[in-house]
Amino acid sequence: MIDRMRSDDSTQDSGGRPYLAGMLRLWMLRSVVPPSGWQGSASLRGSMGLLCVWLAVWIAFDRWQLGPDPEFSVAGVPLLAWYALGVLGLAAWLRRRSNPPPSWNAALALVTGLVPVPLLAIVGGLYVDGSWALAAAAVAVCYSWIYLLRGLHAATGAPQRSAALTGVLLLLGFVYLSDALSVIPDFWAPVEQEPAVASDDDAPADEEALLFAQPSKIDHALAAVMRGDAPQGQAFFLGFAGVGDEKVFAEEIELAAQVIGNRYAVGSRGVSLINDARDLRSAPFASLSALKYTLHGLAAKMNVERDVLFLSISSHGSQDPAIAVSNDDLPFNDFSDEDLAQALQESGIKWRVIIISACYAGAFIDSLKNPQTIVIAAAAADRTSFGCGSDSDLTYFGGAFYRDALPAARSLRGAFDQAKTAIAQRERREHVEPSRPQAYFGTEMETKLEHLTQTLPR
């Protein structure tokens, strides 16, 4: 493609050079002279060959990410049209903005050579964040601008600063849209695991006795809740693990109680309602009626005008919206966003932080939000969350938020932002549709939480 180069701005290398050698020189941001080879069919063949190389590299990287023995999926193939449109669109833009315009083959060759830059940006986003990600993005932008400056000058014989700058901006917009629209071509998928099947030898629970014992179990748990003497607001915790057939929900609420308890000095002011098929007797069951009963019991222990309730829910969710509630074969019903909002309203508890780790949890925000409430949801109203299987110890959200972010974060908002970034990176690496965690931060509640944190013992 690039037949002749300069070793510097004044010395011309008159020897012919093959296409790839010329591209290598341009990738190294070396000066080049206007090459006649860009006008011929050899340049077009070289561009098509490079595109095939980039595609092969992406497919190989995609397979490597998923570990041993993934299955090939054709679902990513149609998305290649998006990238083909991006290549053709950028080439057309460079021709339009340059004066004089480069040939079509020359513009296409330049764009084809630049393809690895956005690919590296996408890959880099999977593994780095924060200041490193910003630094890498700045390097990529500078590289792309110099590359286009050199290449357009070689193709047209004239400086093309405006065309190069707008070309970089267009490339940035393309990368942003690809990420925002989740247009990531995934060619491999993990092998689906067979779900665990319960043993037929499991003895059926005595449902009537278990249900009859629930009010006394909740009363016993509430009896241990004691408000301290501090005049300022204090934190209370209520955990709700909704589905007992998968241990991940019970274990996530156990972690939530520990992390929130340590960070906000909850002490003995916590109760957890747990559905766990492994243990039907230790903790009170989680159900809507139990939730209402416990909320009223906690409200009686709280100064509802000062104290803060942390309500952590972990379960399956549906688009209704609803939180799934089940435990063994007990007759429990799911509950909706309106049910939860009504239960909280009836309790009289004013200051609330509600954390919902479930699919479609974002649909609960509108019914719960007010200036005295913070609502954090593991997924958008139209998205599923991940990590809910029987073989998981924590959901993706639970691991990123409770385990990794909240213990050291400077604020609840900071913990959410950190967890949201980590979840997006993990989901992109694993080629699943982004869950897009959501949050609403009531202004009064956020200020209240800052003051509460400042008064806690260090």
Q: What's the pLDDT tens digit per position in 365-395?
A: 999 999 999 999 999 999 999 998 777 889 9
| Together in a domain, 185 and 235 | no
pLDDT tens digit string along 294-336?
Answer: 999 999 999 999 999 999 999 999 999 999 999 988 889 999 9
Instruction: State residue 47's pLDDT score.
Output: 84
Across-strand partners of 323?
317, 335
Instruction: State residue 66's pLDDT score.
Output: 66
The closest of 242, 222, 338 to 286, measured between CA atoms, is 242
Q: Which domain holds residue 314?
A: 208-455
SS3 438: strand
| Together in a domain, 180 and 328 | no
Alpha-carbon span 129 to 126, nearest angstrom: 8
| Together in a domain, 222 and 370 | yes
* Residue count of the chain: 458
Name the domain boundary from 140, 162, 189: 189
Task: Specify the residue for token string 């009064």.
Answer: 444
The closest of 294, 233, 230, 234 to 269, measured between CA atoms, is 234
Residues 6+ apart with CB under 8 A from 259: 402, 403, 406, 407
Q: Provide the CA 119 distance to its chain's centre, in angstroms.
A: 19
Kindly tell me if the per-residue pLDDT of 12 is higher than 50. Answer: no
| Together in a domain, 172 and 219 | no
Examine residue 194 and state whether it is found in any structural domain, yes or no.
no
Examine residue 200 and state whether it is found in any structural domain, yes or no.
no
What are the residue ranges of helices labelled H in 181-317?
207-212, 214-223, 247-263, 288-301
More confident residue, 445 or 138: 445
How many domains, in total, are found in the chain?
Answer: 2
Name the domain boundary from 154, 189, 224: 189
pTM over 0.85: no
| Together in a domain, 175 and 313 | no
Instruction: State residue 179's pLDDT score.
Output: 74
| Together in a domain, 419 and 341 | yes
Examine residue 196 and state whether it is found in any structural domain, yes or no.
no
| Together in a domain, 53 and 144 | yes
Mean pLDDT of 408-430: 90
Alpha-carbon span 384 to 238, nearest angstrom: 24
More confident residue, 286 or 35: 286
Residues 6+ apart with CB under 8 A from 367: 337, 338, 340, 341
Instruction: State residue 163's pLDDT score.
Output: 92
The closest of 340, 289, 295, 343 to 317, measured between CA atoms, is 340
Examine residue 118 and state whether it is found in any structural domain, yes or no.
yes
Mean pLDDT of 54-75: 78
Kindly tell me if the per-residue pLDDT of 288 is higher than 90. Answer: yes
Instruction: State residue 333's pLDDT score.
Output: 92
Residues 6+ apart with CB under 8 A from 36: 3
| Together in a domain, 54 and 134 | yes
pLDDT tens digit string along 201-257?
Answer: 444 556 777 778 888 999 999 999 988 777 778 999 999 999 999 999 999 999 999
Examine residue 69 and state whether it is found in any structural domain, yes or no.
yes
**Distance between start and end Cα atoms, the chain:** 66
The percent of residues in the chain predicted with pLDDT above 90, rounded, is 49
| Together in a domain, 407 and 364 | yes
Residues 6+ apart with CB under 8 A from 135: none
Examine residue 175 and state whether it is found in any structural domain, yes or no.
yes
Residues 6+ apart with CB under 8 A from 78: none
SS3 356: strand
Alpha-carbon span 458 to 456, nearest angstrom: 6
Examine residue 128 and state whether it is found in any structural domain, yes or no.
yes
Alpha-carbon span 312 to 327, nearest angstrom: 18
Mean pLDDT of 350-378: 96
| Together in a domain, 319 and 276 | yes
| Together in a domain, 238 and 129 | no
Examine residue 199 and state whether it is found in any structural domain, yes or no.
no
Alpha-carbon span 379 to 356, nearest angstrom: 9
Mean of pLDDT over the chain: 84
Instruction: State residue 40's pLDDT score.
Output: 59
| Together in a domain, 265 and 396 | yes
Name the domain boundary from 156, 189, 222: 189
